[in-house]
Amino acid sequence: MKNIVWFSEGTKDQKELLGGKGANLAEMTSIGLPVPAGFIVTTDVCRQFLENQQLTQPLVEEIIRAVATLEERTHKSFGGNQQPLLVSVRSGAKYSMPGMMDTILNLGLTDQTVQALAANTKNPTFAYDCYRRLIQMYGDVVKGIDKSHFESYLTTYKHKKGYPSDQSMVAPDWQEICEVFKSIYMEHTQERFPQDPLEQLLSAVQAVFRSWNNPRAITYRKIHKIAHDLGTAVTVQEMVFGNSGAASGTGVAFTRDPTTGHRGLFGEFLACAQGEDVVAGVRTPRPISDLAKTQPEIHAQFSAIAELLENHYKDMQDIEFTIEEGRLFVLQTRNGKRTAKAAVQIAIDLVSEGKITKKTALHRLTPDMLDQLLHPIFSPESLAKASPLGQGLPASPGAAVGRVYFSAEAAVSAHQAGEKVILLRQETSPEDIDGMVVSEAIVTSRGGMTSHAAVVARGLGVCCVAGCDQLAVDSFLKQARCGEVIIQEGDYLSVDGTTGNLYQGALSLVASQDFGLLQTILDWSKERADLVVRANAETIEEIKTAASFGAAGIGLARTEHMFFGEARIWPMRQVILAETTEERQVALSQLKTFQLNDFKELLLQTKEQKCVIRLLDPPLHEFLPRPQEYEEMAKRSGYSLEKIKQRIHDLQEVNPMMGHRGSRLGITYPEIYEMQTAAIIEAALQASEAGSVVYPEIMLPLISIPEEMRVLRERLETYIRQIFAHYQKEVPFKIGMMLETPRACLLTKELAPLADFFSFGTNDLTQMTFGFSRDDAAGFIQRYLDKGILSEDPYQHLDKSGVGQLMEQAVASIRQQTKGKAIGVCGEVGGDPQSIAFLRAIGVDYVSCSPYRIPAAWLAIAQSAS
């Protein structure tokens, strides 16, 4: 096993062993790009180290030999007094975890070598600035000394001297700072700052390995579902200096705009600075186009390298570079993080540029990116009335409204209390991750498009405005000033991550209208999909939205949802409270008028497509009047108040979700289902009279007993024949059933001949299989997740081993009994991209989900199909 791999030996395909950074440095070296020399200590070593908490002697010796080789290759000497070699020690895991682990720069500087560096470069200001950076970073990363101890001293020093920025500092200033930093180091560690470069290097390598397990890295891995046992590699690389003079600098650039996806170099550059200054957002950088004015040859060379790298990797690259005294070096390349919109735009453009196939493009996207494309925007009306309070960089798109908090902790606790929060900070750092995850939007007053806040927000899909320099943020006083306006903790703020505008108060949000890109992805996905997506929808608006996302018909129209609203709820209540069939018939005839229109609209809207209408499945408690409505109910129904109370008391259920619901209601009050069936069939007759081809499919909920299905089907079919006879006309129709109890799944052999189609109601099936009440489970499922008893919430992601097993054998048994009967899934997991591959594998014909989940479902199907 190789513990150390030279850049000149590795390739881009070795990310697991060399980490993403190391593998790409190796690749760039092999294609001849100007990469400073270096080697990689592998992730294998990291895993061993984390087990034993120490570097083995043979490994230490290997590192010492590698340093000697690096000295030869660079013609410099580590700790030498002539040409001192300085190195960077960086983390680099298989998956990029920006800013989560540690890095140390300028290793090799000591009281001796700093003098040599000053003499060689004839730039003591630069040399001592490097030295103080090393003491500070080493103190923080290796010894855990809080950065603020160093930074606050530096701030006070500059203040005392009247310096506006670091730029004003000269050599004696940095020399003095170095002395003070060494004493801060001594004070916290009781040790001298190490003067042996090898000791520095070995401690740094261990600290970087350890940083794999720091809390923010662990949180990041949890959020991004990265395995905890991968470990990080460490790259040890010759330092080049962006801070060594006016002809030096450092920058980060993307080969395409990471926010919009548009083609063209997009990045930032800081003259006379080290990489950390750009990423940390401490100084606000200049656009990379400025480099074309100040150093045109370098700009041209960099542009050519950027294009070469993008063509080589066939994806948008995020490239870090440094210019040392007019010489360009590439320090890192990786596939750039991007917004959902940019991801989709880039995937589409790379296909049209002939660089990747449609299949590759679809696999580069994640279903949640399509969700993000549907992000809300501010309504034009509310925007027309509002004027921006300030503007920053549009770092991550979408619009958000929430209450302002000035620290991650405050944001987290407000979120836990049910508030929508906006995290407002001067700049964010990786420690803020918990607060960022729960925020509707992140706003910073400092930093650029590649600052921590911007990069992390884009990755999370959270709206972000960065570098809004009109804001003076005081997190101690918990307020921010923007011109005359003071924003206090808890105030509402509206944030537009697409324009960078901030607005006081709460603007109203509407769904995004930017569906152009989505359409192409939908078309490509549908070309590859081998099962279809239907919609769970009842209203015309929902059906139209579903249609615009390519829904292949309706998989579930929940008829009980048609009874919300003043005009309908009272007759519906009357149906429930009626004691006799006759009383119930009166209320039902009122409802039939509504239903006939509902179904006609539904069928006309979905004409020529399948339309599954589920007969009433109301958990009764959702429809019963509340105590304050008893009097009104009495007035409307003509029953006495006493009788109303008595009837409600009689109807009360201990567990309504497992109570008098679904087909049970159809059995006990057949006139309810008859009314709905009549309304569906008459609507279909009228629609077909008007020339439309319609396919009503009547679905019976919560069947557990084959006899329930037999009885209901017979009764409804008889009734339908009477309607046909009455109208002397017929329309095609089907009667199907939901599979949402374990018993139904187990008895599919008997049920298969009784239904024309089947649809898994996984919400109820999950409830009944686990015995977890749908209404009450949320309270304890989180604890189960925390304790690792469950790895996922089965209401969000299908429980493949239990519920999935029932489904799998039910599908197999239906297919064995009958041919050509559609089997779908209309519970919540039907729209869950993570569950779709399984549903496809067990052989369902369609999934059905709410309209906004449809695009992601199509993509998930296309991805699992190829």
x/- letters, 543..582, toward ligand PEP (CB under 6 A): -------------x-x------------------------
Query: Which single residue is written with the structure tokens 């190789």?
Result: 2
762 binds, among ligand PEP, Mg ion, none (CB under 5 to 8 A by kind): ligand PEP
Q: Among residues 459 and 662, whose Cβ is nearest to ligand PEP?
A: 662
Among candidate residues 130, 468, 826, 849, the one labeled active-site is: 826
Among candidate residues 299, 375, 415, 452, the one labeled active-site is: 452
Q: Among residues 447 and 761, whose Cβ is nearest to ligand PEP?
A: 761
481 is in an annotated binding site: no
Q: Which of 265, 421, 633, 826 binds ligand PEP (CB under 6 A)?
A: 826
762 is in an annotated binding site: yes
> What is the number of alpha carbons within 13 Å of residue 31 lying toward its C-beta?
17
479 binds, among Mg ion, ligand PEP, none (CB under 5 to 8 A by kind): none
Q: Among residues 429 and 763, whose Cβ is nearest to ligand PEP?
A: 763
**Cα-Cα-Cα-Cα dihedral sign, residues 705, 706, 709, 715:** negative
Report the alpha-carbon distance of residue 373 to residue 343 in Å, rounded.
Answer: 10
Phi-psi region of 638 (alpha: psi -120 to 50; beta: other; left: phi over 0): left
Query: Which single residue is written with the structure tokens 């060689």?
Result: 120
Q: With beta carbons less than 8 A apart as the criterion, state whether 504 and 485 touch.
A: yes
764 is in an annotated binding site: yes
- The size of the interface with ligand PEP (CB under 6 A), counted in residues, is 10
- At a CB cut-off of 8 Å and minimum separation 6, what does 18 contact? 5, 10, 26, 40, 42, 43, 92, 233
Q: Which residues pair with 504 in a beta bridge?
A: 493
818 binds, among Mg ion, ligand PEP, none (CB under 5 to 8 A by kind): none
x/- letters, 756..795, toward ligand PEP (CB under 6 A): -----xxxx-------------------------------
763 is in an annotated binding site: yes
- Crossing angle between the packed helical segments 566-577 and 630-637, to the nearest 10 degrees: 80
Strand ranges inside 470-541, DSSP E? 471-474, 479-482, 485-488, 492-496, 501-504, 509-511, 532-536
Return the H-helix or E-strand segment holding 735: strand 734-739
Q: Which of 827, 831, 833, 851 binds ligand PEP (CB under 6 A)?
A: 827
Question: Helices (H), strands (E): how many in the chain?
Answer: 35, 31
DSSP assignment string, 398-447: SEEEEEEESSHHHHHHHHHTT--EEEEESS--GGGHHHHHH-SEEEESS-
Q: Is 700 in the site for ligand PEP (CB under 6 A)?
A: no
Determine the length of the chain. Answer: 866
Query: Which single residue is written with the structure tokens 């020690």?
Result: 89
Q: Which residues pair with 253 in a beta bridge?
A: 267, 319
In whole angstroms, the minimum distance from the beta carbon of 557 to ligand PEP comes to 11
Q: Among residues 531 and 738, whose Cβ is nearest to Mg ion?
A: 738
Q: Among residues 504 and 805, whose Cβ is nearest to ligand PEP?
A: 805
Q: Among residues 390 and 761, whose Cβ is nearest to ligand PEP?
A: 761
776 is in an annotated binding site: no
Q: Among residues 350 and 768, whose Cβ is nearest to ligand PEP?
A: 768
**Cα-Cα-Cα-Cα dihedral sign, residues 8, 14, 15, 18:** negative
x/- letters, 589..618, toward ligand PEP (CB under 6 A): ----------------------------x-
Residue 225 carries which DSSP code? T
Report the alpha-carbon distance of residue 710 to residue 750 in Å, rounded.
Answer: 10
Report the alpha-carbon distance of residue 34 to residue 573 in Å, rounded.
Answer: 77
826 binds, among ligand PEP, Mg ion, none (CB under 5 to 8 A by kind): ligand PEP
Residue 524, both tokens: 């490509």
Q: Which residues pair with 320 in a beta bridge?
A: 252, 332
262 is catalytic: no
614 is in an annotated binding site: yes
62 binds, among Mg ion, ligand PEP, none (CB under 5 to 8 A by kind): none
What residues numbered 702-761 form the site for ligand PEP, per CB under 6 A? 740, 761
Residue 260, both tokens: 């919009």
Q: With beta carbons less than 8 A apart as the criterion, state whether 301 and 283 touch.
A: no
In whole angstroms, the minimum distance from the beta carbon of 821 to ligand PEP comes to 19
Strand pairing of 610-614 and 695-700?
Answer: parallel
820 SS3 class: coil
745 is catalytic: no
Q: Among residues 12 and 558, whose Cβ is nearest to ligand PEP?
A: 558
Report the alpha-carbon distance of residue 42 to residue 769 in Å, rounded.
Answer: 46
- At a CB cut-off of 8 Å and minimum separation 6, what does 537 contact? 543, 545, 546, 551, 554, 556, 557, 850, 851
Report the alpha-carbon distance of residue 219 to residue 233 in Å, rounded.
Answer: 19
In whole angstroms, the minimum distance from the beta carbon of 829 to ligand PEP comes to 8
- At a CB cut-off of 8 Å and minimum separation 6, what does 612 contact? 534, 553, 554, 555, 556, 557, 697, 699, 736, 757, 759, 824, 826, 848
In whole angstroms, the minimum distance from the beta carbon of 782 to ligand PEP comes to 21
How far are the Cα atoms of 114, 172, 244, 854 from residue 123, in angstroms, in the given order?
11, 12, 7, 61
221 binds, among ligand PEP, Mg ion, none (CB under 5 to 8 A by kind): none
Q: Among residues 625 and 662, whose Cβ is nearest to Mg ion?
A: 662
674 binds, among Mg ion, ligand PEP, none (CB under 5 to 8 A by kind): none
Q: With beta carbons less than 8 A apart as the criterion, state whether 494 and 505 touch.
A: yes
The torsion of the CA quartet 541, 546, 547, 552, rounded to 10 degrees, works out to -140
In whole angstroms, the minimum distance from the beta carbon of 830 to ligand PEP comes to 8
231 is in an annotated binding site: no
Q: Among residues 257 and 740, whose Cβ is nearest to Mg ion?
A: 740
Report the alpha-carbon distance of residue 785 to residue 778 in Å, rounded.
Answer: 11
- The size of the interface with Mg ion (CB under 5 A), counted in residues, is 3
Query: Which single residue is written with the structure tokens 């304790």?
Result: 787
103 SS3 class: strand
Question: Residue 469: what are its φ and ψ, rounded to 5°?
Answer: -75, -5
In whole angstroms, the minimum distance from the beta carbon of 762 to Mg ion comes to 8
In whole angstroms, the minimum distance from the beta carbon of 747 to ligand PEP comes to 18
341 binds, among Mg ion, ligand PEP, none (CB under 5 to 8 A by kind): none
What residues numbered 163-202 form the site for Mg ion, per CB under 5 A? none
Q: Among residues 124 and 555, whose Cβ is nearest to ligand PEP?
A: 555
What residues numbered 726-765 form the site for Mg ion, per CB under 5 A? 740, 761, 764
Binding residues, as ranges, are 558, 614, 740, 761-764
Contacts with ligand PEP, residue ranges (CB under 6 A) = 556, 558, 617, 740, 761-764, 826-827
Annotated binding site for substrate: 558, 614, 740, 761-764
Binding site for Mg(2+), residues? 740, 764
What residues line the site for Mg ion (CB under 5 A)?
A: 740, 761, 764
* Catalytic (active-site) positions: 452, 826
